[in-house]
Amino acid sequence: MSNSKKMWDGRFESGMAQSMIDLSFSLAFDQELIEEDIQGSIAHGKGLVESGVLTEEEYSQIVSGLQGILADYKNGVALWNDGDEDVHMAVERVLTERIGQLGKKIHTGRSRNDQVSTDFKLYMRHRAEEILVLEKNLANTLLELSKKYIGKIMPGYTHLQQAQPIYFSHYLMSFFFALSRDICRLKNFLALHKELPLGSGAIAGSAFPYRRKQVAKALGFEAPSPNSIDAVSHRDMALEFLADLSIVASTLSRYAEDFVNWSSSEFSFLTLHDAFSSGSSMMPQKKNPDSMELIRGKSGRMIGNYTALFTLVKGAPLSYSRDLQEDKEPVIDSVKTVKVILQVMQEALETATFNFDKMENRMLPALLATDLADLLVESGIPFRDAHHIVGSLVGEAAKQKKEFTELSDEEWENAGVKSPKEIKEKLTFIYSIERRNIEGGTGSKSLQGQFEKAEAFLNSL
Ligand code: ARG
């Protein structure tokens, strides 16, 4: 049994078993919340001054004690000892050692339940702001690259089969707009979760007169939470945060998957900078797109974090149960992971070489099959018939091991195409692309519209 003195040892005769310590101590991971814990305590102390529990003089001693602890922590000063269960109790212990009995007053009218809830909400709000900056940086890079490479063409794929010609910029802008929704999701998240738990106590609300509105404001929350049971029990904010982070990770993962393919010699569309690749310990010729593979891999881990938290909270009885302590690690892990994959995706794209010659050379004439059908429709042939005519040309070409554009004019005529010469001349990749200037299409006018929308979006943030 451990002999360390616990904060609740008035009630207990024995210390904690070592195995229980191993199971329950959370300082190793929840010290990540130290900044928010100290901000929370400073605002809480102010609330206690306004309710007459602390004098101004006592408050300022507490504040400088807390600020000193934070500064020391950041400077790598060893603060913790083996008896410290979590960051909240560790900070209070160090404070009391430094400023004496007064340190014991800071927990007045507060339970670790509303304290943890508050710290964790603050932590998620702060990290969401930082993640938003990284998302915006990536969005900016995507827009810049799209503008820089305007006019470059590539095969567009469905089912990983060449489907229709597109501008490369159209592809990159698809990434931009997906990411813009990831940005909106985090902004919506920030707009929803802005109520302060402090003042809720353990479950029933603090019994001290406590100016919750002022404390809320001081911490950047909009209002006090309306129900103390709800405030200490629920982890829907964390769930939503992990869902939002998992979704942005899955966005990155899908593009990473394409970039892995594009890096293969079969595609050769993309050469990642050496700084974002690695070699093989055995095969000297290898340069592997590990950055993209890891982005894809990390997204799996983040979905795991989300699933872990969801499983954890769904059956925990109200209000607080210790199960809820398990909410921190998945969130902290996903925050670190999403930050690094956003940063790597942005830097890897900024430094990558896109091989436009390869993209163009790989384009198969069959990419124009839909356009031929469309042209036949314009000449008055019903779409189903036009589809059939082009299908028979493509089938015939396959039999002859040719492209359908290589069949003779006569063969085209026999299949039902009038004036094949004119049509063949018209049928180029750029023609196909520029026929698609409908809003959202791949044509250059549509792309200009996309750039304007993208700029307006970034300016609105
Ligand atoms: N470390 C704990 C957590 O994060 C603190 C809360 C403990 N509360 C309690 N009533 N035992 O959940």
Chunked in runs of 10, what are the mean pLDDT values of the chain (461 residues)?
A: 61 87 97 98 96 95 98 98 97 97 95 98 98 98 98 98 97 98 98 98 93 96 98 98 98 98 96 90 82 98 98 95 97 98 98 98 94 92 94 94 94 92 94 97 98 98 93
240 and 290 both lie in a single domain? yes
Predicted local distance difference test score (pLDDT) of residue 5: 61
Would you say the CB of residue 327 lies under 6 angstroms from ligand 1?
Answer: no
Choosing from 108, 129, 161, the residue where a domain stops is 108
- 142 and 118 in a single domain? The answer is yes
Give the pLDDT score at 289.
Answer: 95
Q: Are 312 and 354 within one domain?
A: yes
12 within some domain: no
**pLDDT recorded at residue 411:** 94
| Residue carrying structure tokens 């700084």 | 275
Answer yes or no: is 459 within a domain.
Answer: no
DSSP 270: E
pLDDT, residue 12, reads 78
User: Of 88, 92, 117, which is closest to residue 29 (Cα–Cα)?
Assistant: 88
Instruction: Say yes or no: 64 and 200 in one domain.
Output: no
- What is the DSSP code string of 206-236? -SS---HHHHHHHTT-SEE-S-HHHHHH--H
pTM passes above 0.75: yes
Rounded to whole angstroms, the Cα distance separating 115 from 219 reads 13
Q: Give the residue whose CA is nearest to atom 12 of ligand 1.
A: 325
Residue nearest to atom 7 of ligand 1 (CA): 112
Q: How many domains does the chain have?
A: 3
Strand partners, 158: 161
**Strand partners of residue 278:** 288
Annotated catalytic residue: which of 14, 19, 159, 460?
159
Q: What is the pLDDT of residue 14?
A: 80
Look up residue 288 and give its DSSP letter: B
Ligand 1 midpoint to CA 2 (Å) = 19
Instruction: Tell whether 440 is covered by a domain.
Output: no
Ligand 1 centre to CA of 112 (Å) is 6
| Residue 195 located in a structural domain | yes
Residues 403 and 327 in one domain: no
Question: Looking at residue 142, which CATH number applies to its domain?
Answer: 1.20.200.10
Q: 116 CB under 6 A from ligand 1? A: yes
Q: Is residue 1 part of a domain?
A: no
Alpha-carbon distances of 289 from 252, 308, 356, 359, 429, rounded to whole Å: 14, 29, 19, 18, 30
Respond yes or no: is residue 280 known to be catalytic. yes
Q: SS3 for 278? A: strand
The DSSP call for residue 244 is: H
Domain shared by 150 and 290, yes or no = yes
Q: Residue 254 sits in which domain range?
A: 113-209+221-361
- Ligand 1 near 84 CB (within 6 A): no
Q: How far apart are CA 70 and CA 359, in angstroms?
A: 54
CA–CA distance, 141 with 319 (Å, rounded to integer): 45
Which of these is catalytic: 280, 321, 379, 419?
A: 280
Burial class (CB in 10 A: 0-12, 13-18, 19+), 265: exposed
User: Using one digit for the tens of pLDDT, what is the confidence trace for 298-345?
Assistant: 999 999 999 999 999 999 999 999 999 999 999 999 999 999 999 999
CATH number at residue 393: 1.10.40.30
Ligand 1 proximity of 115 Cβ (cutoff 6 Å): no
pLDDT tens-place string over residues 235-250: 999 999 999 999 999 9
Task: Decide which of 321, 346, 361 is a domain's last residue.
Answer: 361
Q: Tell me which of 116, 229, 331 to substitute to probe ligand 1's pocket, judged by most ligand atoms within 8 Å of the beta carbon.
A: 116
142: which residues sit within 8 A by CB, 6+ positions away? 172, 173, 175, 176, 179, 349
> Same domain for 297 and 281?
yes
Q: Would residue 296 count as lying in a domain?
A: yes
Residue 347 shares a structural domain with residue 375: no
Residue 271, C-beta contacts closer than 8 angstroms, at least 6 positions apart:
263, 352, 353, 355
Q: How far is the CA of 420 from the centre of ligand 1 (A)?
A: 77
The neighbour count for residue 161, using CB atoms within 10 Å, is 9
Q: Whose CA is nearest to atom 2 of ligand 1?
A: 325
